[in-house]
């Protein structure tokens, strides 16, 4: 039963990681094929960054998204890439919710220009955020769950904190 559960978790982890990786690669590809100033206009519409930062983000964020998508898709640096995906999606989602609550009718900038923030975009990005958070949680789980500390050959019990300290003489 535990082996089956482990396989299901591994399959779920793979599926979420590949889906998020594909989304980040696609989002980067769409932004990189358009003039970067169009993306800068979408960023500027949120009214949270000074002009110099808008221009910097517009030029660099698509490349960051591409690198992150490739890392997720390839399964490299899983913990780092899952945390980065969660952080980026948390930032994007919170900015979108803020704009929606304020009644701003702006492009979300998610997949290039022309997609206004709506309940559907919030649902989509919220789902992506939930997937990224799940990926992060699963990436930091120990394989096999909680384990009992190793015991010395003599059969004497060793306190759990002694194992953490590396002290087996207790």
Q: Distances from the Cα of 86 to the Cαs of 29, 72, 80, in angstroms?
A: 20, 12, 10
Q: From 69, 58, 55, select the one nearest 27 (Cα to Cα).
A: 69
Is 29 a member of any domain? yes
- pLDDT for 85-123, tens place per residue? 999 999 999 999 999 999 988 888 888 777 889 999 999
User: Has residue 19 got a pLDDT over 90?
Assistant: yes
Is 58 a member of any domain? yes
Is 158 a member of any domain? yes
Look up the domain containing 156 and give its range: 2-165
Two structure tokens written together for 49: 């960054």
Q: What is the CA radius of gyration of the chain?
A: 22
> How many structural domains are present in the chain?
1
Is 170 a member of any domain? no
Is 27 a member of any domain? yes
Residue with tokens 């994007």: 92
Looking at residue 153, its pLDDT comes to 59
The residues facing 112 across adjacent strands are: 110
Predicted TM-score (pTM) above 0.85: no
Work out the pLDDT band at 10, boundaries 50, 70, 90.
confident
Looking at residue 44, its pLDDT comes to 93
CA dihedral for 126, 8, 14, 141, sign (positive or negative)? positive
């Amino acid at each position: 039963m535990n082996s089956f559960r482990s396989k299901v978790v591994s399959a779920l982890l793979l599926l979420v990681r590949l889906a998020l990786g594909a989304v980040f690669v696609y989002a980067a590809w769409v932004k990189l094929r358009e003039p970067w100033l169009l993306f800068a206009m979408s960023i500027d519409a949120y009214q949270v960054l000074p002009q110099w930062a808008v221009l910097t983000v517009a030029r660099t964020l698509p490349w960051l998204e591409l690198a992150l998508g490739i890392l997720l898709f390839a399964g490299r640096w899983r913990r780092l890439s899952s945390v980065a995906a969660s952080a980026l999606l948390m930032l994007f989602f919170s900015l979108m919710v803020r704009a929606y609550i304020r009644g701003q009718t702006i492009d979300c900038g998610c997949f290039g220009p022309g997609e206004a923030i709506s309940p559907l975009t919030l649902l989509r990005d919220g789902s992506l955020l939930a997937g990224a958070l799940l990926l992060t949680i699963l990436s930091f789980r120990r394989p096999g769950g909680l384990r009992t500390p190793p015991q010395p050959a003599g059969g004497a019990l060793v306190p759990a904190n002694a194992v953490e300290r590396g002290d087996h003489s207790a």
